[in-house]
Amino acid sequence: MITPPKPADIQHLFSQIVQYDESISPMELDLPNETHDTISLAYGDADPALFPVKPLIAAVDSMLTGNLDITLNYAPAYAGLIELVQERMARLHIPLTRSELMLANGSSQILSLLPQILCDPGDVIIVEGPTFLGAVETFFNCGLTIETIPVREDGMDLDLLESTLIRLTAQGIRAKFIYTIPTFQNPTGSTMPLANRHRLVGLAARFGVIIVEDDAYGDLHFDNPIPPKLIALDPTWVLYVGTFSKILAPGVRMAWACGPAEIIKRLNRFKTEGSNGPFMTRLVAQVSADGWLDKHIAVLNAHYNTKCHAMLNTIAETFPSDVRYNRPLGGFFVYVYLPNDLPVSRLLPAAIANGVSFLPGTTCYADGQGTHEIRLAFSFQSLEKVVEGIRRLGATMHQLRIA
Ligand SMILES: Cc1ncc(COP(=O)(O)O)c(C=O)c1O
C-alpha cells in the first residue's frame, strides 16, 4: 500500500481553485442516517419503471451486429443524433447550424465548462435562489462570486435582477452570465411566463450578459403547452442547454448546448474527451428515431403528472394548513415553504426517524438561505411510496407541533 502524503505537504501542488476548503461549500448535502426503509423524496432521479429497456436492447443488438468500426472504434459523434437535435430545436423555432450546436456528456459537463471559457476566478455570475445545486456547486468550486436572485412562482424576480445589474454596472462590474432554469425550475417547479421571458432577454441584451438557459425539464409538461424558450426569443444573448437525461435516461449522459457559434467553438475546444463516443450517440439517435421519443415523452408526462397530483393531494390532506407549497406545471419537484416553528433543522431528523427524507432548501442556495424550505421529488419513487412518504412527512410535522 502507498503511504499517502500529509495534506499539508502537497497543498502547494494544487491550483488556487481547488485549494478551497470543502467544508465551506454551503450546498453540501449530508442527510442523516437513512435506512433502507426510508422513503427518499430527496433525489430528482428519473423513474426507473419508465426506462425504455426493450427499445435500448433492440438498438444495441442491431448496432453490435452491424459495422463495429462505426460503433466501437474511434469515430466521430453519429451525425444522425446531431440532425435529430437540430430537428427537435427547429420545431421550437430555433434553427441551428452545425457550428451553433455541441453534444456533451450530460448538461453537467456543459455547465462545468462554462467557467473555463467565460470566467476568471472572482468574476461575478448571477444565479437563481433556490436553484440546481449541481450547477451552483460547480460555479462555486471555480472560485466565482455568486449573486443570488430570488425565484418567485413566476420565476426569477426580474426587478431584483435589474437592480442588481444596475448596481454591478455602477461598481464597474459586468456579470459574466446569468444562470436560469426558466421552465419547471429545479427546485421550485416554477415557470417564467412569456412577458417575463421577453423582459429577461431584454435585460441580458441591455447589459451585455449571456443567459445560460438550463432546460433540463423543458419537455416534461403536464396539461399545459410549453412556453417559448429564451433562445427562441433572442438567440444573440442566450446559450441553451438541453439534455436527454430526463426524457430518455440519465445514465446515457447525453446533452447538448446551442447558441452563439463563438461560444460553442470555445466550449468545444475545452471538451477534450472526444466526440461523445460513436456508440452512445448512435444508441440515443437510434432509440429516439421515427417519432419514438415524442411518444415516450407523452407517456412520461402522463405518468409524472399522476404522481405530482398524488403528491399535491396528499400534501393538501396531511400537511398543517400554514405550510405553503408550489403547484408545478411540469418537471420533477414540489417546493415547500415551512412555517417559522418548523425549520428544516428540526424537521429533517424527525422525518428520517419516521422513515422519509427530503432535500433541505439550504442545499439549493449559494448563500445559506432556505432554512425553512424543502424540495420534494415525485419523480423517482413509485406512486404508492410518494403518497406514503408524504403521509409520513405530514404526520412528522403534526408530531413536532404537539411536542
Ligand atoms: C436543472 C438541471 N440541470 C442539469 C441537470 C443535470 O443533467 P445531466 O444529467 O444532463 O447532467 C439536472 C439534474 O438533475 C438539473 O436538475
> Considering the entire predicted model, what is its pTM?
0.94
Most confident of 87-91, 221-225, 276-280: 87-91
Contact 107 CB / ligand 1 (< 6 Å): yes
Contact 214 CB / ligand 1 (< 6 Å): yes
Q: Whose CA is nearest to atom 7 of ligand 1?
A: 107
Say which DSSP state 226 is in: P
CA distance 177 to 175: 6
Q: Whose CA is nearest to atom 12 of ligand 1?
A: 216
pLDDT, mean of residues 337-362: 96
Contact 106 CB / ligand 1 (< 6 Å): yes
The Å distance, Cα 111 to ligand 1 centre, comes to: 9
* Chain centre distance of CA 177: 17
pLDDT digits (tens, 9 = 90+) for 190-245: 999 999 999 999 999 999 999 999 999 999 999 788 889 999 999 999 999 999 99
pLDDT at 32: 62
270 CB-near residues (< 8 Å, 6+ apart): 113, 116, 117
Give CA separation, 221 vs 224, 334, 374, in Å: 6, 14, 22
pLDDT, mean of residues 164-174: 97
Does residue 277 sit in helix, strand or coil? coil
* Shortest-distance atom of ligand 1 to CA 111: 4
pLDDT at 229: 98
The Å distance, Cα 11 to ligand 1 centre, comes to: 32
Domains defined for the chain, CATH in brackets? 30-51+294-402 (3.90.1150.10), 53-290 (3.40.640.10)
The Å distance, Cα 243 to ligand 1 centre, comes to: 7
108, 181, 280, best to mutate for ligand 1 pocket (most atoms within 8 Å of CB) = 108
Q: What angle do CA 248, 115, 237 make, to 5 degrees?
A: 75
Average pLDDT, the chain: 93
Cell of 207: 447589459
DSSP for 165-203, written as a single string: HHHHHHTT---SEEEE--SS-TTT-----HHHHHHHHHH
Classify each residue of 310-349 as buried b or exposed e, where b means 16 or more C-beta atoms within 10 Å of its C-beta.
bbbebbeebbeeebebbebbbbbbbbbebeeebbbeebbe
pLDDT, mean of residues 244-263: 97
The Å distance, Cα 235 to ligand 1 centre, comes to: 22
Contact 237 CB / ligand 1 (< 6 Å): no
Please report, as a single letter, which amino acid is at residue 309: H
The Å distance, Cα 107 to ligand 1 centre, comes to: 6
DSSP for 304-363, written as a single string: HHHHHHHHHHHHHHHS-TT-EE---SBSSEEEEE--TT--HHHHHHHHHHTTEE-EEGGG
pLDDT digits (tens, 9 = 90+) for 6-53: 878 888 887 776 665 554 455 556 666 667 789 999 999 999 999 999
**Helices 278-288 + 53-64 axis angle, to 10:** 130
Contact 108 CB / ligand 1 (< 6 Å): yes
Cell of 248: 430518455
pLDDT at 23: 44
The Å distance, Cα 289 to ligand 1 centre, comes to: 23
Strand (E) or helix (H) holding 378: none
* Shortest-distance atom of ligand 1 to CA 243: 10
Give CA separation, 61 vs 91, 233, 253, in Å: 31, 41, 20
* Shortest-distance atom of ligand 1 to CA 332: 16
Q: Which residues pair with 239 in a beta bridge?
A: 212
CA distance 160 to 172: 18
Contact 257 CB / ligand 1 (< 6 Å): no
